[in-house]
Structure 1
């Protein structure tokens, strides 16, 4: 555990400050709050550890056909999760850059009602205990978007986003997904 004023603190603070600045550039605020739909938020907790940003993930079920707002939050590097075992099986950290340069990855392109969607599937082995986790669905999609925004690097795989305009292309993808989920056809 590092103490205030330790050599790691300026590096950690710099990582977090840079990430916050990049996220602010892409914040759409309440632009879509007027949409009537089942609405939920998902917290994407980041922490700085070992000179890198990590995403704290949990193994749990995902809700489908809902409007989910990703909310990025920063937690203290000394945070120790105490999950309710009835709701969360495991808590683990994944370096944020893994979502741009994974060791094990595949994707599928799905087409619904004339709209194409890329689904990402990451396999991550936790170096602390050797457990292999599957990261997919909305969690994977939001992890990729956050990594693109914060790290400002090109991934080693195809994405649906225009890397030159992440805000506009992520909004277009959101609206395409919303139209697909609200279509009665």
Structure 2
């Protein structure tokens, strides 16, 4: 018996179009670019594969005391990474929904200058090669935030964001960090 299976392209476009629409609602543009002189961006490349969205990661070092702007980019599902081994140790994909419902997760709670901070730590084992990766710090926070925006679902753990008003709570968090970073006390 023969069954018609529609092409994957429209599903991918729908996933990507929906993700772009949700991200546009939360784009603040250059609203906070004046806060710190030390700035950088972190690219969060998304791709649609087998009806799901995935984030593409590279192992790298993180900088501190820097205003990090998450930039979400969309790449073709056929993308094949060819990293420079001197700069990138490995490249791997993690399903976006993993950041809301991880298999292995822990968090650390810190209080700095009177502000409660949650440090998210995701452990992901790549089913393709069995290698386990630890995603934590600013990378984990950005991946979680993108998952919250795009998927619009509640995570299986506590987050520092107000899930009913992601924009206001994330802006409030950023301004608290800025105030702490620029405080002379």
Post-superposition Cα deviations, 1:125-172, rounded to whole Å, max 9, x if no partner, equal 000000000000000000000000000000000000000110111111
Alignment partners' CA distance in 2, 1:31 and 1:153: 26
Structure 1 segments (4+ residues) deviating >4 Å: none
- Larger deviation, residues 29-38 vs 157-166: 29-38
CA distance in 1, matches of 2:121, 2:182: 25
| TM-score, normalised relative to structure 2 | 0.95
Whether 2:99 is the aligned partner of 1:73: answer no
Output the CA distance in 1 between the equivalents of 2:179 and 2:84. Answer: 35
Q: Please give the per-residue CA displacement for 1:24-52, whole angstroms capped at 9, x wherever unaligned.
A: 00011110122232010111000000100
Aligned residue for 1:44, secondary structure, equals: strand
Query: Partner residue of 1:140?
Result: 140
The residue matched to 2:157 in structure 1 has which SS?
coil
Cα offset, 1:84, TM superposition: 1.1
| Aligned-partner SS, 2:20 | helix
- Is 2:163 the counterpart of 1:182? no
Q: Aligned residue for 1:3?
A: none
Consecutive unaligned residues of structure 1, counting only runs of 5 or more, are 1-5
After superposing the two structures, state which structure 1 stretch, 65-74 or 28-37, moved more. Answer: 28-37
Query: What is the root-mean-square deviation in Å for CA atoms of aligned residues?
Result: 0.9
Secondary structure in 2 matching 1:141: helix
Distance (Å, rounded) in 2 between the aligned partners of 1:70 and 1:44: 7
Report the counterpart of residue 92 of structure 2 in structure 1. Answer: 92
2:20 is equivalent to residue 27 of structure 1? no
Structure 2 residue ranges without an equivalent (≥5) = 1-5
